[in-house]
Amino acid sequence: MRSKSQIISSLLDPGIIAVVRAKSADQIPPLTEALLEGGVVAVEVTMTTPNAIEAIREASGKFGARALIGVGTVLDALTCRLAIEAGAQFVVSPVTRPELAKVAHAADRPIMLGAYTPTEAQLAYEAGADFIKIFPADGLGPNYIKALRAPLPHLRMVPTGGVDLHNVAEFFKAGCVALGVGSSLISQKILADSNWPELTRVAAEFVKAARGSSRGVLNKS
């Protein structure tokens, strides 16, 4: 079993977290395999995926040694606990719920709490978040991250929403430690067509962009 510090190190390298909103739980195994082939190891299975807990359990059993299977869109402590028991190695919430941090830390799992404003970001940090999910980042862009980090350099920020191949480098340059990538990586067309070779190709492009970026900060501690 990976320790919390080992999980964090893997989340930051290459720093691309695939945000998965699959149409069915059956898509998770081939989708995960395709992402792994493209070099993306962090797979966030959102609770909006049908039968998400069972999907996490199956994926963790099959890919646990190769991938980081996490849970996303967590809104309450019970869901957090059930997902971790099913094998989730990291927890992501779009909101700041302090009780989620307590559950995750009790299981030695990192947690990412959601925030939008400077006040929310700092409160998430004070609640025990290992990472701050800046959400929704659509329309905010790298300059917003740079502005946030000026007074709050201690925050490890992970924007989600609006991240694509064209701005990966700029987000990292602004000081992000990782990026949550959803539809620009796992498009609705890829899901509808079950086009896993295309997913592998796009995943490899994101990994290439991440590894080629000049990061403003990379704190693995």
Distance in angstroms (rounded) separating the CA atoms of residues 98 and 171: 27
- Give the three-state DSSP class for 32: helix
Based on the residue annotation, tell me whether 205 is a catalytic residue of this protein. no
Based on the residue annotation, tell me whether 208 is a catalytic residue of this protein. no
Per annotation, catalytic residue among 44, 102, 120, 170: 44
Per annotation, catalytic residue among 99, 133, 189, 205: 133
Asked if 93 and 113 touch (Cβ cutoff 8 Å), the reply is: yes
DSSP string, 163-181: --TTTHHHHHHHT-S-EEE
Q: How many CB atoms lie within 10 A of CB 154?
A: 9
**Does residue 14 have a cis peptide bond before it, meaning omega lies within 30 degrees of 0?**
yes
For 193, residues 6+ apart whose C-beta sits below 8 A from its C-beta are none
For 84, residues 6+ apart whose C-beta sits below 8 A from its C-beta are 71, 91, 103, 104, 107, 109
Catalytic residues: 44, 133
